[in-house]
Amino acid sequence: MARKTKIFLLVRSKYTRDSLAALMATLPEAELSFNDNELQNTLQSLSSIKTDVIIIEGSPLQPEMSSFLHEIKLLQPKTRTMLLVEPLAWNKIGKISGADLVLPMNVTAGEMLMGIRAMIHSTHQSARASKDSVGVEAASVSA
């Protein structure tokens, strides 16, 4: 059985959280958890749980967002991050602040699924590469 991809939602809006949860239900490989706390409280939660993908509703213009995304990468370097932003901010900003993917809040469900699937795929690719490199190291040590 394939390993489930752990997806963590950090979304304040109940409507957005419910919509994303419904969308995630279509991905059998996804295991979903969520939190609507402030960014700093969430970092404490993330230090004790391993997650593969984090979807964050917010603005890259928030002073704490850049440092939050940086801290996630320090805590969990292989974790992929998606930042959902207001459409006007998205047009000006694009990919910034260390997020792996930035999408506007009004993105279609199909586009959202494509983004999430791409992050799941890259998470599995990096996990496979890590296992392969451990196997290569073990083989070279035993040789």
Q: What is the pLDDT of residues 99-116, one digit of tens each?
A: 788 888 888 888 999 989
pLDDT at residue 11 is higher than 60 = yes
Q: At 47, which CATH number? A: 3.40.50.2300
* pLDDT of the residue at 58: 80
Provide the domain limits for residue 108: 5-142
Query: Confidence band (pLDDT; 50, 70, 90) for 73?
Result: confident
Token digits for 45? 């939660």
Number of domains in the chain: 1
Alpha-carbon distance of 21 to 2, in angstroms, equals 21
Q: Write down the pTM of the prediction.
A: 0.75
